[in-house]
Structure 1
């Protein structure tokens, strides 16, 4: 999300080496990437051992919460929430009593990163998974976290939990997820954080070409892989949920709004009607984070009144359109 140094201080994209010589936004790599599993050197899968830190602002973090809710892991993985508006000291637990996370006993997320690795120079990011036994950050790999919840954490899934990462589709899901990340999820950031007109226009064109492609794909099936929700749907949804509320304005991705795509819009409303998606979607936090945050260029802190998010509760046409014959 926003840029900060090892001490949580706000820095420019250039200082964080996240802008190329041509002015393109280049997101930093994840640092804590040890996988969950039963193999040597892997993070043990144990109920009650880990705490997931998120903010409803962040799409990478929100998809973790959606997955936990769909799979029934909410009582297995504890959750801490930071404010959607970052301070100059980094992500803050200002929503908690005393501005301190009740479990980790810290005020700012960078504190646990510094305690884990004093030499870490990247951003303290969400999602972050903390091992409560060692009080160290063990994973911030948003590329693969949902896959771990969907697979090696299966012994803790609720009865009749959906199979979000079916084995026969994994290769196709992985391939689509790469496209979704580079051209959609991170694509909006490439446009919004570009430091040159040429890089902005390049990212803008790629983004809308891919949205047009997805619009066509979703004219033929209810979800991205037929009639079942998969990991890919979670990944696409979190960007769609932020599009009209934030990206259209803040990141200048304004060729057209999500609500102007027939299939993508009804698809997004279809997913939003599912409690796990709706409960993890906080439009007010999204608006505050993007439009009042440190990259918003909003010196007077004026929060727009629109858009009207009540339209997300309006009926969608997906069930009827793809009614089983």
Structure 2
């Protein structure tokens, strides 16, 4: 918030800048680093043990993580990976590890996070035994929603975080520099981000999930954003900005998925800060949880959601 005539600084919590490799385009948007190995279902071996490397702090990781759990892919060992050291000196927050699958020889199968969940479904899904996350009749709609979520929400979220540290002109004072070179871009990117959330909240006012009564791959992509925003990345947003708890349909939807038994494990809840560790302490990997005017504690609101639902509910 502006203090008198002093312009708003968009500088957020340093710890909130837990980011992947990527770059900023000429238009100011974050662009994820291209995958080293794109993925097709036929590229995923069915006769080898596989390992999924990911961070629970990463909104990109949750689609393939949830797909593998919903489909009970026994060949896939799930391995949480630590943050990597940043490339630049003086940057305090670490880099997110790549979301990638390796085979039992250590060979990279794919790090194509945008498409891994669909490839997992196509390779290991069985219509007779498992829920279908990427059905033929909905492929076009799922592809369209995945592109929107990946570009406008996931990469859009990372764009906002990058904009909090826009360097600017050294001849200006710090607050002027933040305002002129960071806050304007920051505000525009936040409007795009919140416009998409508002649109999805309206979609969910008429449906249980994005495309009807059953989970699809698009829901898995969206859930990662909702889970990591409120108690994580939002600490880099101005305090008056909305949280997921401010969108009634998105909030009920997020809690519904979060409550499905077996989709989010206790180690991940501890890493994110939703359960205490063995010492009774709650992790704050993104820094202190952001304030919101609508609930006393965002983290407590998430913690109150208990995993009691089973199956594809």
Shift of 1:258: 0.9
Partner residue of 1:268 out of 240, 254, 277: 254
**What are the equivalent positions in structure 2 for 1:128-277 lying under 5 Å apart?**
128-133=100-105, 135-154=106-125, 160-194=129-163, 195=166, 196-252=182-238, 255-277=241-263
**What are the equivalent positions in structure 2 for 1:290-309 lying under 5 Å apart?**
290-291=285-286, 307-309=297-299
Shift of 1:274: 0.4
Structure 2, unaligned stretches of length 5 or more?
Answer: 1-17, 88-94, 167-181, 274-282, 292-296
Shift of 1:86: 3.3
- Confirm or deny that 1:31 pairs with 2:36: yes
Output the aligned Cα RMSD. Answer: 3.2
User: Closer, same or farther in 2 for the Cα pair 1:161/1:139, shift >3 Å?
Assistant: same
Structure 1, unaligned stretches of length 5 or more?
Answer: 5-15, 38-42, 90-122, 293-302, 320-325
User: Closer, same or farther in 2 for the Cα pair 1:184/1:251, shift >3 Å?
Assistant: same
Shift of 1:233: 0.7
Could you report, residue by residue, the CA deviation over 1:74-122 in whole angstroms, capped at 9, with x for unpaired residues? x211222212x43459xxxxxxxxxxxxxxxxxxxxxxxxxxxxxxxxx
CA distance in 1, matches of 2:290, 2:203: 33
**What are the equivalent positions in structure 2 for 1:14-93 lying under 5 Å apart?**
18-21=23-26, 23-37=28-42, 43-73=43-73, 75-83=74-82, 85-87=83-85
CA distance in 2, matches of 1:253, 1:190: 18
8 Å CA contact 1:150, 1:164 repeated in 2:
yes
User: Closer, same or farther in 2 for the Cα pair 1:253/1:48, shift >3 Å?
Assistant: farther
Shift of 1:68: 0.9
User: Closer, same or farther in 2 for the Cα pair 1:26/1:88, shift >3 Å?
Assistant: closer
CA distance in 2, matches of 1:77, 1:145: 13
CA distance in 1, matches of 2:60, 2:203: 23
The number of residues matched between the two structures is 254
8 Å CA contact 1:269, 1:313 repeated in 2:
no
CA distance in 2, matches of 1:204, 1:311: 23
CA distance in 1, matches of 2:102, 2:224: 23
Shift of 1:252: 4.7
8 Å CA contact 2:62, 2:223 repeated in 1:
no
In the superposition, the TM-score normalised over structure 2's length comes to 0.71
The 3-state SS of whatever aligns with 1:282 is helix
8 Å CA contact 2:55, 2:97 repeated in 1:
no
CA distance in 2, matches of 1:218, 1:308: 21
User: Closer, same or farther in 2 for the Cα pair 1:280/1:193, shift >3 Å?
Assistant: farther
User: Closer, same or farther in 2 for the Cα pair 1:219/1:209, shift >3 Å?
Assistant: same
After the TM superposition, list the runs of 4 or more consecutive aligned residues in structure 1 that deviate by more than 4 angstroms. Answer: 251-254, 287-290, 303-308, 313-316
8 Å CA contact 2:232, 2:285 repeated in 1:
yes
The 3-state SS of whatever aligns with 1:78 is strand
